[in-house]
A and B are shown apart, each in its own frame.
Chain A
Amino acid sequence: MSKPTFIYVIYIRTSVEALWRALIEPEFTKQYWAGTWQESEWKKGAPWRIMIPDGRVGDAGEVLEFEPHRRIVLSWRNEFMPELTAEGFSRLTYELEQQGDMVKLALTHEMLDLPPGPSKFIDAVSSGWPAILSSLKSMLETGESLEATRRWPEGV
Chain B
Amino acid sequence: MGRPGSQKAEYVYVIYIETTPEKLWHALIDPEMTKDYWGRHANRSDWKPGSPWRHEDYDNASSVRVVGTVLESEAPRRLALTWVSPENASDPAKTSRVTFQIDPMFGSVRLTVTHEDLDDEMLRAISGGWPPILSSLKTLLETGASMPMTRRPWKGRQETEQKGAA
Q: Which residues of A contact B (CB under 8 A)?
A: 9-13, 97-102, 127, 130-131, 134-135, 137-138, 141-142, 144, 146-149
Contact = CB atoms under 8 A, between A and B. Distances in A.
A11 B16 contact: no
B16 A135 contact: yes
Contacts of A102: 147, 149
A146 B106 contact: yes
B110 to A, nearest CB: 8
Q: What 10 pairs across the A-B complex have the smallest Cβ distances? A: A148-B106, A134-B16, A11-B135, A130-B14, A9-B131, A11-B132, A147-B107, A134-B15, A146-B108, A99-B164
Given A102-B147, A137-B138, A147-B107, 12 more contacts: A13-B143, A13-B147, A100-B149, A100-B164, A130-B14, A134-B138, A138-B18, A146-B16, A146-B18, A147-B106, A147-B108, A148-B105
24 contacts: A10-B15, A11-B132, A11-B135, A11-B136, A13-B139, A13-B147, A99-B149, A102-B147, A102-B149, A127-B14, A130-B16, A131-B106, A134-B138, A135-B16, A137-B135, A138-B138, A138-B142, A141-B142, A142-B143, A146-B106, A146-B108, A148-B105, A148-B106, A149-B106
Contacts of B106: 131, 146-149
Contacts of B161: 99
A141 B136 CA distance: 11
A7 to B, nearest CB: 8
A81 to B, nearest CB: 20
Contacts of A144: 18
B17 interface: yes
A146 to B, nearest CB: 5
Contact of A12 (B17, B107, B135): B135
Interface string B115-139: 0000000000000000110011011
A70 B164 CA distance: 15
Interface string B5-39: 00000000111111000000000000000000000
A127 B16 CA distance: 11
Interface of B: 13-18, 105-108, 131-132, 135-136, 138-139, 142-143, 147-149, 160-161, 164-165
A39 to B, nearest CB: 27
Contacts of A131: 16, 106
B15 A142 contact: no
Nearest to A147: B107
Contacts of B132: 11
Contacts of B136: 11
Nearest to A99: B164
Nearest to B130: A9
A109 to B, nearest CB: 14
A13 B160 CA distance: 16
A100 B107 CA distance: 32
